[in-house]
Homo-oligomer: A and B are copies of this chain.
Amino acid sequence: MGAERATAMIQGYDPRTGEPAGEPVAETTDEEVDAVASATALPFGIWEGLGPAARAGVLDAVAGALDARTDDLVAVADTETALGSGRLSGEVARTTGQLRHLAGALRDGGYLDAVASGPSEGVPGLRRINRPVGPVAVFAASNFPFAFSVAGGDTASALAAGCPVIVKAHENHPRTAELTARIVAGALAGAGAPGGLFAIVHGVDAGIRLLNHPAIAAAGFTGSRRGGFALARICAGRPVPIPFFGELGSVNPVVVLPGAADRDAEAIAAGYAASLTLGAGQFCTNPGLLFVPDDARLPGAGLLSAIAAAVDATSGGPMLSERIHHGFEAAAGELEAHPAVALLATGKPGDGPWAGTPQAFRTSLDEFAAGLPGLADERFGPAGLVIAYPSVDDLLPVLAGLGGNLVGTVHVDTGSPADVAAARRVTAVLARTTGRVVCNGWPTGVAVTLAQHHGGPWPATTAPAYTSVGAAAIRRWLIPVAYQDFPPDLLPDALRNISP
């Protein structure tokens, strides 16, 4: 860790052309990483001490500052991601909505879980409350340059909890990250937050050094399984291990039940094609596996042909980076070369050197089961595998044998008793193997609400009890402490006036 490194530069690229997008940003040096990590101790105490209402006001101020610079943020992000101004301005709004949602959770106070018991005969009086775990390292994602990046959900929830935050920017959008960080830092200072509460670092080495720094108490990550597992190992192997909240890749199985397939083939096919190709398929909630009833009795007339037509009508788009595009091409090529898999449909190629072309493949349930786990690997991009199942009885054990996923979906004709009965069984399996089960919808789109759970069993996440979206995301950065037999004036404010 202590070896000298020459200052390297991080260059963003325009996915529409493959050419450099603006000036490069310098990697953060070891000394700079150590300086910002060490500087969190003082602001931690001050920020925690401000209390939830004051912190809520500061989060609102950050949200307002980002909203006011939406046009500038979208412009720089569009050159680095090619996600388009519609999506990107929506994502800024989602990001600031998220900050305000967490400010609301602070004002509500339920996140403190303040609780009292005793005293009674022979039993001491106990008062328990949640407090911030300490300085948090946040690893930004490539595919959400705002909502899961510098000012995204991890940062917002950690700041809300009372923790200082150091963000490791994603290499694909360094200038977007820098601009966001400048706006956030300015808004924090203007709203009275302590200096050193928030910082940004650039570069993979800087991120690893940050994760190993003794000042860091927990880390949040959104990204690939490979990256997430590597960082999880670092956290577990530190002299003082720290919790690591990794939200990783997922293939999000969708089950179409027979009644729904009969009744809603066109709508399901259209919804699937839209969800599969949204954002060039670059979502961890992408519907990578679609299970449909085996429709051999009606060749060409059923759901499969509707899906083929819908996917044929889609268009691809520039992917976020050369590396992501290369990975997608390799994964889709592997699928195409698989002896048990056939190409079902191909959309129009998108523009630019890194365009991902939508593709749907098909196989049978038996072949799919024989090809596990490889056939259930995530293919980050607009490629889906459609699996024809002969019966729900056959489907259930295969579904149960998939690894953990973020989302599971069931399409059911609620007017069909057979479909409803089958939906119960499918839902029971999905509720054990995914973090969120969707009925008659699609997995893409993650609402920022109180009841959201964006998580899931390993390997969808490294910490299945937690969510990275919604008010409950704050829980990742909290630990309880109990006070036994304390006089009220020595208790924290929030514990003084509660009753057993």
Contacts and interface: CB of A to CB of B under 8 A. Distances in A.
A298 interface: no
Contact of A437 (B241, B450, B479, B484): B484
Contact of A451 (B128, B236, B241): B128
A55 interface: no
Interface size class of A (residues with CB under 8 A): 35 or more
A3 interface: no
Contact of A464 (B117, B133, B492): B133
Interface string A313-336: 000000000000000000000000
Interface string A398-415: 000001000000001010
A129 to B, nearest CB: 9
A450 to B, nearest CB: 4
A182 interface: no
A478 B465 contact: yes
B452 A490 contact: no
A78 to B, nearest CB: 24
Contact of A441 (B123, B449, B484): B484
Given A424-B490, A465-B243, A450 B131 contact: no
A478 B465 CA distance: 7
Interface in A422-445: 423-424, 427, 431-432, 434-441, 445
A467 interface: yes
Among A127, A423, A479, A500, the one with the most B-chain Cβ atoms within 10 Å of its Cβ is A479
Given A123-B447, A447-B126, A449-B117, A438 B479 contact: no
Contacts of A465: 133, 243, 475, 478-480
Nearest to A450: B117
A431 to B, nearest CB: 5
A126 B452 contact: yes
A439 B243 contact: no
Interface string A194-234: 00000000000000000000000000000000000000010
Contacts of A241: 458, 462
A116 B449 CA distance: 9
A290 B123 CA distance: 24
A296 interface: no
Nearest to A126: B451
